[in-house]
Amino acid sequence: MADDTIASIIALHQPRRPKTGPQRSRAYRPRKRKTTKAAVSSDADAPSSETLIPIDFSSSNPALPESSVISPSTTTSRGVTPSYRPVASIFLLFAAFALAGVGVTTNGWFARSLGSSDIAGWLFLAIGVAADLVALVMPSCAAGLWHSRQRATSLAGWAVWAMTFVFAVTAGIGFASVNITDVTAARAARVTTAVTAAQSALSDAMSARDRECMHGVGKFCREREATVAERRQILDTAMASVGQAADPQTGAAIKLVAWVTHGALQPSAHDFVMLRLILLALLPQIGGILLMVSRLAMRPS
């Protein structure tokens, strides 16, 4: 009886035999599949980072500024926002300085031409250049003051700009009118072949009239007078054609407007001359406005 009990105890506590390599691999594969499925299920059931942050977290915590709360949309928008300046604003800045340079030069030249002496001319030059520089930089300064809520100072700046702008436009009108008139007169005074022939024919007619009318007014004298009047009209027509050719832009613009509007608008030469004068005087003075617009466009929103 004792021997049987001892034998059963020995059989129960007998050590297991070590597993071979194929047996261990077969036992490891099921455990690996179970571990992988458990990890996938735990990741799917885990809450995302967006659900962990309450929606009203930034509003409920006044001590935390809104700019410190990072959201996916904010990160994405910051990632795709370009950091370079717009090319159009840079070109607009160059155009502003180019027009400003033209305006300062023309206004300074015309202001100096008004002086009766050298000292007066240089003083007028200083006034013209200073006024044009104020008209250039004042819009940007006034807009900055308005943006910083200094409204009274900004309005005062705009008032100063209006005075300098009117002065600069007036000087530009003087510069353009003087130069256009001189050039047109010089072109109109050209002696063409038609004008030379008309002048020669008129001279011959006047000589013949003087010889015929020397002894009194008669039938042939009146005929020579009519010939002189006819030759003078031919000369006036030839000179008028030269005068019209002196400013071909005016005639071409009138024809173009009449053609585009099918004859509904037919401006006169005087209308186009005034329009051209205004544009030539006004465009060099808008450099300050262009500079203000370019700076506002470059400012980050």
The pLDDT tens digits for 131-187 are 888 888 888 888 888 888 898 999 998 999 999 999 988 888 888 888 888 887 777
Contact 175, 109 (CB under 8 A): yes
pLDDT of res. 122: 92
Convert the pLDDT of each residue in 87-143 to its tens digit.
778 888 888 888 888 888 888 888 888 888 889 989 999 998 898 888 888 888 888
- Structural contact between residues 164 and 131, judged by C-beta atoms closer than 8 angstroms: yes
Helices (H) and strands (E) in the chain, counts: 13, 0
d(CA 287, CA 161): 12
Specify the 3-state DSSP secondary structure of 216: coil
User: What tokens does 261 get?
Assistant: 């509007």
Measured between alpha carbons, how far is 285 from 103 in angstroms, rounded to an integer?
A: 6
Q: For residue 160, how far is the Cα from the chain centroid?
A: 24
> Is the pLDDT confidence value at 207 over 80?
yes
pLDDT of residue 79: 45
Residue 297 pLDDT class (50, 70, 90 cuts)? confident
Q: Identify the residue with better confidence: 32 or 128.
A: 128
* Average pLDDT of the chain, as a whole number: 75
- Closest to 287 measured CA to CA, from 105, 168, 135, 79: 135
| Residue-wise DSSP of 14-34 | PPPPPPPHHHHHHHHHHHHHH
Positive/negative CA dihedral, 134, 136, 138, 144: negative
Where residue 66 falls among pLDDT bands split at 50, 70, 90? very low
Angle at 66 between CA 65 and CA 68, to 5 degrees: 75
Residues 36-60 as b/e (b if ≥16 CB within 10 A, e otherwise) read eeeeeeeeeeeeeeeeeeeeeebee
What is the average pLDDT across 285-291?
A: 85
pTM reported for the whole predicted model? 0.55
Tell me the mean pLDDT in the region 286-291: 85
| Integer-rounded Cα radius of gyration of the chain | 47
CA angle 178, 179, 183 (to 5 degrees): 120
Percent of the chain, pLDDT > 70? 70
Q: At residue 277, what is the residue type?
A: L
pLDDT mean over 198-222 = 81
Instruction: Give the span between the Cα atoms of 51 and 56, in whole angstroms.
Output: 12
Inter-residue contact 139 to 131 (CB < 8 Å): no
CA distance 248 to 246: 6
Contact 125, 108 (CB under 8 A): yes
pLDDT at 18: 60
Angle between helices 118-147 and 87-113 (to 10 degrees): 150
pLDDT, tens digit, 9 for 90 and up, residues 261-284:
888 888 888 888 888 888 888 888
- pLDDT for the residue 276: 86
pLDDT reported for residue 155: 93
What tokens does 289 get? 């406005």
Query: What pLDDT is recorded for position 27?
Result: 57
